[in-house]
Amino acid sequence: QKEVEQDPGPLSVPEGAIVSLNCTYSNSAFQYFMWYRQYSRKGPELLMYTYSSGNKEDGRFTAQVDKSSKYISLFIRDSQPSDSATYLCSLSGGYNKLIFGAGTRLAVHP
């Protein structure tokens, strides 16, 4: 069983839609939860970072962590074509060694 499960998609939505991306994990030792965004032929860039259960909001993005269910989510409101990318959930027991999900490919069409 993989440590982190993430549906690879692809996910195609119209501009303005609310997007929900999810990951489940098996190791309760994970303490840090991150979402990275990766554009084609680029490296991952950190989008959201959270430590505890609950919600964290940053503009159109909301990260949600439920440690009891081992479930993390990223919501994108009012999605834009520029949001088209691969979204990677990433977990860590410490700062340094990240465990990545497979990544979900998102396409937002005008």
Partner 1 sequence: EAGVTQFPSHSVIEKGQTVTLRCDPISGHDNLYWYRRVMGKEIKFLLHFVKESKQDESGMPNNRFLAERTGGTYSTLKVQPAELEDSGVYFCASSPPWGSGELFFGEGSRLTVL
DSSP-assigned letters across all residues of 11-80: EEEETT--EEEEEEE--TT--EEEEEEE-TTS--EEEEEE-SSEEEEETTEEEEEETTTTEEEEEESS--
In angstroms, give the least distance from the CB of 23 to partner 1.
Answer: 11
Q: Which is nearer to partner 1, 36 or 106 (CB)?
A: 36
Q: Which is nearer to partner 1, 17 or 56 (CB)?
A: 56
In angstroms, give the least distance from the CB of 27 to partner 1.
Answer: 14
Q: Which chain residues interact with partner 1 by CB under 8 A?
A: 2, 4, 32, 34, 36, 41-46, 49, 88, 95-103
Q: Which is nearer to partner 1, 14 or 29 (CB)?
A: 29
Is-cis flag, bond preceding 10, omega within 30?
A: yes
